[in-house]
Amino acid sequence: MSDDHTHPGLQHHVPLSERAKRAVAIHRLLARKNIVGPDEVRETIDRARRRSPADGARVVARAWTDPTFKTRLMDDAPSAVFELGYRLSRDAGLAVIENTDRLHHLVVCTLCSCYPTSLLGQPPDWYKSFAYRQRAVVEPRAVMREFGLHVDEDVVVRVVDSTADLRYLVLPRRPSGSEGMPEAELAGLVTRDSMIGVGEARKPA
C-alpha cells in the first residue's frame, strides 16, 4: 500500500479490511491518473453528509408558496431543485409526485435502497430493510398505519418503485391552517416521512 500520495483520514495504526484496502488503492490510482483530484472524493462525501431532510423540506415549502416553481418542479425536477442550489448525482434522475385529497404516493426501493440523498440525506434503516421493501408493495396501507398514518379507503394509494436511474420525492399535501405562513416556517412542517409517503406534513401549532 505504499504510495507517494497520502490518503487523508487514514489511521496507520488501524489495520484496514480488504474492502477498505481496495477502495484506497482505487482512489490513489484515480488521483495518480488525474481522473479525480486528491480531495475530490472526500469533498463529495462531506457534501453528501451535509444533506438532510431540511433540504427537501425547503423544496416542498417553495412549491407550496410559488405555483410557477411548483409547475417547473413537477415538469423537470432536476432543473427546478438546481435553482435552489441542489445538484443531483449525475447518474440518477428525480421525479416529484404530488399527494392530493384523492391520491397518496408511497415510495419504496424494492431492490435495495435507492433514495434522493441529494435532498433527504442518507435513507433511514427501516427504508433499507427487507420487511419494508416487501410489505410496502403488498400491504401499503398497513405499513402506513404502523407509522401512524391512516389513509381513507376512498383515497387511491399508489406505490412507486425508486431505482438507480430514477428517484422519487413526494410533495405532501399542505396542512390546513398554514395559510399565510412564511416559507421558512412552512419548511419546518415538512418531515422526512412525509416526503417518502409514510407520513404527512405536521399541522401548525
Place of cell 462525501: 45
Read off the C-alpha cell for 152: 381513507
Q: Which of 89, 114, 129, 194 does the annotation list as catalytic? A: 114
Q: Which of 52, 79, 112, 129 does the annotation list as catalytic? A: 112
Read off the C-alpha cell for 129: 430493510
- Contact assessment for residue 200 and residue 173, using Cβ atoms and an 8 Å cutoff: yes
For the stretch 97-109, what's the b/e string if a residue is b when 16 or more beta carbons lie within 10 angstroms of its beta carbon?
bebeeeebbbbbb
Decide if 2 is catalytic.
no
Q: Which of 52, 79, 89, 109 does the annotation list as catalytic? A: 109
Q: Is 107 helix (H, G, I), strand (E, B) or coil?
A: strand
Decide if 114 is catalytic.
yes
Residues 6+ apart with CB under 8 A from 54: 187
Torsion-angle region of residue 180: left (phi > 0), alpha (psi -120 to 50) or beta? Answer: left
Decide if 52 is catalytic.
no
- Contact assessment for residue 151 and residue 139, using Cβ atoms and an 8 Å cutoff: no
Decide if 113 is catalytic.
yes
Rounded CA gap, 65 and 78, in Å? 19
Residues annotated as part of the active site = 109, 112-114
